[in-house]
Amino acid sequence: MDKTLFSDGLNGLDTKNKDAVTLYNEISLLAMKCAGDISETKGRRNAYYLSMEFLIGRSFYNNLMELGVLEETDKFLSGKGLDIRMFEEIEDAALGNGGLGRLAACFLDSAAGLGLPLHGYGIRYKYGLFKQAFKNGFQEELPDDWQRFGDPWSIRREDEKRLIEFADMKVYAVPYDMPVFGKRINRLRLFQAEGDGEAQKISEYLYPADDTKEGKILRLRQEYFFSAAALGELTEHFFKQYGKRFEKFPEYNVIQLNDTHPVICTAEFIRLLTVKYKFSFSSALDIAKRTFNYTNHTILPEALECWDEEYMRAVLPEIADIIIRISVYADREFQSLGCDKEQAKEMAIYKGGKFYMANLAVYIAGKVNGVAELHTEILKNDLFKTVNRFYPEKLQNKTNGITHRRWLELCNKELSELLDRTLNNNWRGDISRLNELNGFNGETADAFIEVKQTKKRQLLNYIKDREGVEIPENFLVFAQVKRLHEYKRQLMTAFAVLEVYYGVKSGKYHDLPPCAFIFGAKSAPSYRRAKTIIKFINEIAAKINSDVQCAERLKVVFVQNYNVSYAEKIVAGTDVSLQVSTAGLEASGTGNMKFMMNGAVTCGTMDGANIEIVERAGKENNYIFGATVEELARLKAEGYSPSEYLDNPERCKAVESLIDGTFSDGGTGNFKELYESLINEDNYFVLYDLESYVKTIIQVCTDCKDKKTFAAKQLANVANSAFFSSDRTIKQYAQDIWKI
Ligand SMILES: *Cc1c(COP(=O)(O)O)cnc(C)c1O
């Protein structure tokens, strides 16, 4: 970064009569000009991260921070009577859905921060994840045209575009490079599809509806499109430097497949080596096995992709043939290892006219990893147990992380400054030194109380402006923010809030301190039950917030359009982080880590990374409740009967409110459907865990009355959060898997 050039440019900037968008573009382009080029990657080993999603969020503030000119820009603007927050509404690249996409963005940030050569490949969607608004409490989806004010942080590389061929169409993949700033400048390369109308559709939407054949094929095209473009260029670059010695390709390139979406490129790689560079199939397969690694993100069956041969053949016949050939090699290998028929079938890549992409990934990948200890154990003992038996070296754990630059330094300047004052060390440069905060004294706890209050005030003001819901700042703030999914159990929180509400009204909880529940979540457009839960919570919020009897006691708000920027405010201003997934189903979670690092206690189940959070910060400083994986397994074996657990009047009333006319679902019948699914199945054990959940919430409320002791719990979470920096995660990937 040429800081002098930047300062000169900034000071020469004429801000008069310019709107926010113009200034945003001018300052961003100036920073891009002064930042320098993407770091040289030739002649050494590089790692590549292939991901269908990169949930980047705002680039402006983060990039200026990484480049070391955020403060200067802030000062410059205030000198002109302007507020740097004027750019907040301009951009928020949501090229992802949730945790998986945000993880990809955090990983790139950490690698650049650590000076490691890790580059991203993905899709430059024209429209990111939809913008959410509520109308009568129902979710509405609006297109997210994230480039409408320009895209100064990307550079189009027209000269490097490449043709991607399907059986029925050809399309150009045009690269756009987004530099990732840190100790070095890495590259996030996103491909845009260009060609005639049909071709362009490939990069139009993130996750187009795939409930039709056309939808499924479009999705398949997307996956092939970006991953084939990536492999096309990596092999070509290698060939230019080293000629045909592709057996050395894995010495210079290592590729990480983020979930099953890019797995199709393993077959593309073999196609390139055999067709273009004339390798034999078996040596191409061998080289592939030394190049790729795979990260599994979920054990939910709907996310383990499997493609109908018919669809694949319609658009990618050569790839279909190659996967079948890989499958033949795999079967032979399984037999030679002594697998029986059942075991071979379990691991089969091609069976019943379908391609099993997770099995393909696991077979080809040198290393397969889960994203938290419990999740990896479940992979080893359950989903991939046969793999683990015959390939015991393959499966490993890499617990997720979050970049502390965005999720602490940027989103919580006040806490960062407190850490600067208290720690007297370079924790920003080496986050592991945050551990030295353990043993903090009363003075630090007092200062922390003040910081938390400031962040809470900022958050509640923002919510008042955006949502029109006023929450007094003496309220204890609980938050559950994450994608809407039944397994994440926002519905259980909704019932818990109702139980508390009825208890407050009946006098059962007469001395409960005032508390607020913040929800934030988008539902997939076609996920009926998830949308019903949003409506239900909005109904609850309207009822409670308009009850004058409770005005000083309880507030509920479902914020609209939860995204990275909203998250930055919520994690900093929250007291209690709600992480209440059904045990065994949240692979890791990363929201839990963001809250922890900002000093919220976790109220959650023994699931995903929650387990590792409380292991480090102490169970006594967090609130764990609910059934464990083992308990649920026992319960399932014995036969679970949900209605048995409706044995208390408040709980009954809360659950029955779905059908007794308390709330309206607008005549859709959706509340009744939801109710029946609970009473008859309750696949996610909402009713089973509800009792202990409410008890735990009441316990948190009771404990928070002792401000100092409660702040000490929160601070203990900050002090032990260094492990959850993605710097740690990336170092582990770099050492154990990538060898960079
Ligand atoms: C961190 C983050 C997530 C992931 O949250 P989980 O609680 O781990 O599911 C999802 N969406 C956004 C916008 C995030 O910032």
Summarize pLDDT for 67-113 with one digit per residue, the tens: 999 999 999 999 999 999 999 989 888 999 999 999 999 999 999 99
pLDDT for residue 421: 96
Given 367, 482, 651, 713, the catalytic residue: 482
Segment 709-729 shows an average pLDDT of: 98
Tell me the pLDDT of the chain averaged across its residues. 97
| 404 in catalytic set | no
pLDDT in tens, 375-429: 999 999 999 999 999 999 999 999 999 999 999 999 999 999 999 999 988 999 9
Cα separation, 378 vs 585, whole angstroms: 10
| 43 pLDDT tier (thresholds 50, 70, 90) | confident
Look at ligand 1, atom 9, and give the residue with the nearest C-alpha. Answer: 482
Nearest ligand 1 atom, CA 589? 8
Look at ligand 1, atom 8, and give the residue with the nearest C-alpha. Answer: 589
| 209 pLDDT tier (thresholds 50, 70, 90) | confident
| 485 in catalytic set | no
Given 221, 452, 555, 594, the catalytic residue: 594
Pair 662, 467: CB distance under 8 Å: no
pLDDT for residue 207: 86
Pairing of strands 253-258, 186-194: unpaired
Percent of the chain with pLDDT over 90: 96
Q: How far is the CA of 387 from the centre of ligand 1 (A)?
A: 30
Pocket mutation for ligand 1, best pick of 483, 519, 574 (most atoms within 8 Å of C-beta): 483
pLDDT for residue 91: 82
pTM of the model: 0.97
| 594 in catalytic set | yes
Q: How far is the CA of 99 from the centre of ligand 1 (A)?
A: 5
Distance set, CA 632 to CA 490, 543, 686 (Å)? 19, 34, 12
Contacts (Cβ under 8 Å, ≥6 apart) of 483: 97, 98, 99, 521, 522, 523
Pocket mutation for ligand 1, best pick of 482, 559, 613 (most atoms within 8 Å of C-beta): 482
Paired tokens of 462: 């923002």
How many Cβ atoms are within 10 Å of 549's Cβ, its own excluded?
9
Please name the residue that has the structure tokens 């790689």: 269
Nearest ligand 1 atom, CA 564? 13
Given 483, 531, 555, 653, the catalytic residue: 483
Look at ligand 1, atom 15, and give the residue with the nearest C-alpha. Answer: 564
Look at ligand 1, atom 6, and give the residue with the nearest C-alpha. Answer: 591
| 261 in catalytic set | no
Segment 241-257 shows an average pLDDT of: 97
| 177 pLDDT tier (thresholds 50, 70, 90) | very high
Given 187, 189, 297, 489, the catalytic residue: 297
| 151 pLDDT tier (thresholds 50, 70, 90) | very high
Longest dimension (CA), the chain: 79
| 482 in catalytic set | yes
Q: How far is the CA of 534 from the centre of ligand 1 (A)?
A: 17
pLDDT for residue 41: 74
Pairing of strands 170-180, 162-165: antiparallel
pLDDT in tens, 296-308: 999 988 778 999 9
Cα separation, 28 vs 60, whole angstroms: 7
Nearest ligand 1 atom, CA 593? 8
Q: List the domains of the chain with CATH numbers.
A: 39-57+92-400 (3.40.50.2000), 439-724 (3.40.50.2000)
Segment 276-295 shows an average pLDDT of: 98
pLDDT in tens, 502-549: 999 999 999 999 999 999 999 999 999 999 999 999 999 999 999 999
Q: How far is the CA of 98 from the centre of ligand 1 (A)?
A: 5
Residues in contact with ligand 1 by the CB-under-6-Å rule are 98-99, 102, 482-483, 563-564, 567, 589-591, 594
| 543 in catalytic set | no
pLDDT for residue 657: 98
Q: How far is the CA of 598 from the centre of ligand 1 (A)?
A: 15
How many Cβ atoms are within 10 Å of 72's Cβ, its own excluded?
16
Percent of the chain with pLDDT over 70: 100
For residue 38, what is the DSSP state? P
